[in-house]
Amino acid sequence: MTTEQPPEKPVRSPCVSICSLDEADICTGCQRSVQEITGWSRMSNDERRAVLVLCHERAKAQGVLWSL
């Protein structure tokens, strides 16, 4: 008898609808790079979680914090 796990829900995008890129091509709203934004839909949940960690680090470095 095997117990199947239900499929994991996709990790939600950190987009806050404040889309503006800084000089380093990082969104000032969600702190993702252009590559991270455009690739989000093709990323696995593990890859998305790794991006969220980077976003949090960027937000801390910029003095802009948000909750994960």
34 and 45 Cβ atoms separated by less than 8 Å: no
List the chain pLDDT tens, one digit each, 68 residues.
Answer: 677 888 899 999 999 999 999 999 999 999 999 999 999 999 999 999 999 999 999 999 988 875 55
pTM for this entry:
0.84
15 and 38 Cβ atoms separated by less than 8 Å: no
Residue/partner pairs of 25-31 with CB below 8 Å, 24 or more apart: 26/58, 30/55, 31/55, 31/56, 31/58, 31/59, 31/62, 31/64
